[in-house]
Structure 1
Amino acid sequence: MLISSFLEYLEFEKKYSKHTIMAYKNDLIAFSEFCVENYEENNLTRIHYREIRSWIVSIVNAGTSNRSVNRKISSLKSFYNFLQKIEEVDVNPLSKHKSLKVQKKVSSPFTEREINDAIEILKKKNDFDGLRNRLIIELLYSTGIRRAELINLKEKNIDYVNNTIKVLGKRNKERLVVLLPFVVETIDSYLIKKKELQVSDDEGFLLVTKKGGKIYETLVYRIINSYFSRVSTKGKKSPHVLRHAFATHLLNNGASLNSVKELLGHSSLASTQVYTHNSLEEIKKVFNMAHPRGAD
């Protein structure tokens, strides 16, 4: 009964997809069956963390990956948050649980060829959509800004004298990023088309829809996926892959790790170092060419 109520809550209040709800349902039924089989307990409101921990150990021992285990735990945690909300339990037994460590997957960046090919396709379309989409890709690749930072760029923060734009990053930390000449040209062309739309834009966002509203995350993702699907066979095509390409290509061409760190807006080098593995082959080439014994 409680599981059914929770699933209805996900469907009608949280508006989750049927696929997501089915995943939650399967996780909760599996946990419920474990409790009945091992503890003869079918009332999930009487379950404590020790039983949950035992379940976690059992699915880890069964060969389930840490990533999948964390997803199942997330389902359970959401369920107990719901029970707490409707006052069926006083405390979420998973409130102090720490997720299992998962090795970060670093996607392969786009190559310079793939990026150039995508931009060449975009150059063939000079209407509002074409110029805006081209500007989105050029900004992401030439500055390395995050998707959220891109969406919140404002016209007033462009400095045409110094060719920079102010970016509001994580934790409201501001930084200036350099605009390359070709990007400034695209901005100028785009703003002409934007002005022709004659839409109200009180907040002054740089990148907008045809109706004048601020662009949104799924739109940015769709744009990148659409154009790069034509030029790349990589599985993942997203704003972050462009950010990744920005960092990797700079490192490949001799930029220091510290410089890339500042450009990306990272607070520590550890965050930047995740991009260095893709530069290893390039580093090996430079090493073999430059080292006195490299040619031996």
Structure 2
Amino acid sequence: MLERHAELLHAFSRHLGAERGRSQHTRRAYLGDIRHLLAFAGEQGIQQIDELRIGDLRSWLGAQADAGAARATIARRAASARTFLRWAEHTGRIAADPSLRLVAPKRQAHLPEVLRQGEATALLDLAAVRADDDDPIHVRDRAMLELLYASGIRVGELAALDIDDVDRSQDVVRVMGKGSKERIVPFGAPARRAIEAWLAVRPRLVGEHSGPALFLGRRGRRVDTRQVRSAVHELLSHLPDAPDLGPHGLRHSAATHLLEGGADLRMVQEILGHASLATTQIYTHVSVDRLRRSYEQAHPRA
């Protein structure tokens, strides 16, 4: 069934990119979910997508739940199926959308794990000490971590930055976020100094395929998100009391520390590039949760 629908999947991918502005990573996730659905349908003897019914979709989600899939995974796949089948109906590929009454389990609201302010400082101090050696990768890692924590941008946004996206005269960075929405995000003097130090040694890694990329790998190509994650995990491994977070943990930490410092919630929403204020509000819960833990540890009658 998957081979027969290769052209359909390609058309859906074009729709996600050209009409909905979804990133390559998001398109890959959508297509993976739809391939999973089509494979399941084929096992049930369903040969064409216009044969899918609401019961088939529910059976698909139920099979995943029985196999132990996380609630978040099931919810995401249900959302992918709804997007795909709505598109198929609008383009005349099916007569009616069978997913209209499809209900997936709600995602469990987990508070994101974050660094304490002292832990964030220790991490960046360690990165600065490492950057004092003669390895340009260590200078790059310091600049990446400083910018991630200072701006709260996503790891994919960081990897996509070009040199001209950073305005060191105003200490702001131009970021292309989700849905191809551009935003301007400020950063502080420590991040500017780290970026300037990196730009001074960047020519040592420049190669044929470097182009305008701000951050480069050891072979001269644009840094990828895996390299950024590796740098964050490796440096955090030297702080045994700190949680093992990835780049997104630095984003969570930046947002939490901004709110703890008195920043307005809507300002944090703008910095993070959240479409909905409700998404940003989780950080108010993180701050209250941290406050409660500190109170319980410190107050004799907590």
TM-score by length of 2: 0.66
1:182 pairs with 2:190: yes
Tell me the equivalent position of 1:136: 144
CA contact (8 A) 2:162 2:214 kept: yes
Tell me the equivalent position of 1:146: 154
1:252 pairs with 2:252: no
Provide the rounded CA distance (Å) in 1 between the counterparts of 2:59 and 2:236: 43
Residues 222, 64 of structure 1: alpha-carbon distance in 2 compared, 3 angstrom cutoff? closer
Pairing of 1:1-296 with structure 2 (within 5 A): 43=45, 45=47, 49=53, 51-52=55-56, 55=59, 67=71, 70=74, 97=102, 99-126=104-131, 127-200=135-208, 203-232=211-240, 237-281=245-289
Residues 91, 187 of structure 1: alpha-carbon distance in 2 compared, 3 angstrom cutoff? same
Tell me the equivalent position of 1:12: none
Using the TM superposition, name which of 196-205 and 212-221 deviates more: 196-205
**Amino acid in the other structure paired with 2:107:** V
Q: CA deviation at 1:158?
A: 2.3
- The 3-state SS of whatever aligns with 1:124 is helix
Provide the rounded CA distance (Å) in 2 between the counterparts of 1:63 and 1:213: 40
CA contact (8 A) 1:66 1:100 kept: no
CA contact (8 A) 1:166 1:175 kept: yes
Q: CA deviation at 1:247?
A: 0.5
Give the fraction of aligned pairs with identical amino acids, expressed as a percent. 25
CA contact (8 A) 2:174 2:184 kept: yes
CA contact (8 A) 2:215 2:222 kept: yes
Deviations along 1:36-93, whole A, 9 cap, x unmatched?
xxxxxx745598535536646976997967617828977xx7xxx9xxxxxxxx9999
Provide the rounded CA distance (Å) in 2 between the counterparts of 1:193 and 1:129: 9
Q: CA deviation at 1:212?
A: 1.8
Larger Cα Rg: Structure 1 or Structure 2?
1
Q: CA deviation at 1:234?
A: 6.2
Q: CA deviation at 1:236?
A: 5.1
Provide the rounded CA distance (Å) in 1 between the counterparts of 2:185 and 2:52: 51
Q: CA RMSD in A?
A: 4.3
TM-score by length of 1: 0.67
Q: How many residues align?
A: 252
